[in-house]
Structure 1
């Protein structure tokens, strides 16, 4: 049986557009017969390398206002719950990302990612505290405290730092980003379908 192509999904829990992609990528990838490689990372160091001290949606208020309206429209179009903006933006996503790095190859990773995003952008809840994340894991039938402890061990912290360096070395500058096996980079929620098509060899005329 032929091996399925793989698409890397690079996402940041503080990213609104990563939220939109995370809520639909498994269904779309399944329909396209593409495997997903979950790649959680932190955008803060990437932004810092570009000279930004915060999200560009905060640095440029007009862009930020339009982003929130755009994400609300897209959430409604996709049948997601009404968008609820958390009190702080961007949120501190370190603890959530460490857990995702720890569980990136586990069968529960997709459910966990969607649970965090739902808490953050559908219910407007904070995701910074390990206790809140432990409760989300418990709700998924997992051992929340044990997973949180494992995620805070030095090998996992080091892995997250290495992933951040990898993101920069591979030219990532925002989230969500999608990387195909031949190194083609697609950026933005609206490029998810194109990334999946490229992954299976369906490419525009003249492109290879």
Structure 2
């Protein structure tokens, strides 16, 4: 099992979300999708109130060009958002509902496409509710569940767990043994690590 920690505002989480399941399936590894929020961690760990890609202009310019190259190589659509980063709070809560009900992975991928390919505002209920419906959820009941104390606490718990595990960015992949890999370009390494160490653990039994 590998945990896939992602934030809907995170640019590099987009290509990771588009390919993580296929890469994992090739290796026989299960993926646990874990949406969370980076904002609280950026503020606590780095004193940032904005994305580091906005704080450091030259880094931001590189990131957008790099993302263009990555998406072109994966043959997935890309369009730079009008606003970055977007507010992913509502989408993260809905994703938690969907992951419980079986449509969360499709929903998550669709929200990333809305953000980084379609130029839509992923904080707008008018954008999110049609995505919920298209992915097999009920928009009204999902909205009510997403606004419940249970789901709010679940998302806060994800942030707390991310903090405790030393996560500082997204996407991050965490293996069962606690080994942590940060970045879309570390996906294969994380999965290979999980394969090797899961096999080694079984052989030792």
Structure 1 and Structure 2 fold alike (TM over 0.5) = yes
Task: Give the Cα–Cα distance (whole angstroms) in 2 for the partners of residues 88 and 100 of structure 1.
Answer: 21
1:148 Cα deviation from its structure 2 partner? 1.6
SS of the residue corresponding to residue 9 of structure 1 reads strand
Normalised by the length of structure 2, the TM-score is 0.93
Q: Is the 8 A contact 1:39 1:104 kept in 2?
A: no
CA RMSD across the alignment: 1.3
Q: Is the 8 A contact 1:86 1:121 kept in 2?
A: yes
Task: Give the Cα–Cα distance (whole angstroms) in 2 for the partners of residues 145 and 105 of structure 1.
Answer: 16
The counterpart of 1:113, out of the listed 108, 116, 126, is 108
The counterpart of 1:60, out of the listed 37, 56, 77, is 56
1:107 Cα deviation from its structure 2 partner? 2.4
Report whether the alignment pairs 1:159 with 2:157.
Answer: no
1:103 Cα deviation from its structure 2 partner? 2.5
Task: Give the Cα–Cα distance (whole angstroms) in 1 for the partners of residues 192 and 105 of structure 2.
Answer: 21
- Tell me the number of residue pairs that the alignment of Structure 1 and Structure 2 aligns: 197
What does 1:9-28 correspond to in 2, within 5 Å? 9-28=4-23
In the alignment, structure 1 segments of 5+ residues that lack a partner are 1-5, 204-208
Structure 1 residue runs of 4+, over 3 Å off?
A: none
Normalised by the length of structure 1, the TM-score is 0.91
Deviation string, structure 1 residues 15-72 (Cα, Å, up to 9, x no partner): 0100010000111111111001010000000000121111000000000011000000
Task: Give the Cα–Cα distance (whole angstroms) in 2 for the partners of residues 141 and 131 of structure 1.
Answer: 16
Task: Give the Cα–Cα distance (whole angstroms) in 2 for the partners of residues 159 and 140 of structure 1.
Answer: 22
Higher helix share: 2
What does 1:43-82 correspond to in 2, within 5 Å? 43-49=38-44, 50-81=46-77
In structure 2, what is the equivalent of residue 36 of structure 1? 31
Q: Is the 8 A contact 2:96 2:104 kept in 1?
A: no
Task: Give the Cα–Cα distance (whole angstroms) in 2 for the partners of residues 132 and 168 of structure 1.
Answer: 30
The counterpart of 2:184, out of the listed 180, 189, 195, is 189
Report whether the alignment pairs 1:141 with 2:136.
Answer: yes
Deviation string, structure 1 residues 66-102 (Cα, Å, up to 9, x no partner): 1000000000000101x21111100000000011122
Task: Give the Cα–Cα distance (whole angstroms) in 2 for the partners of residues 108 and 197 of structure 1.
Answer: 27
In the alignment, structure 2 segments of 5+ residues that lack a partner are 199-205
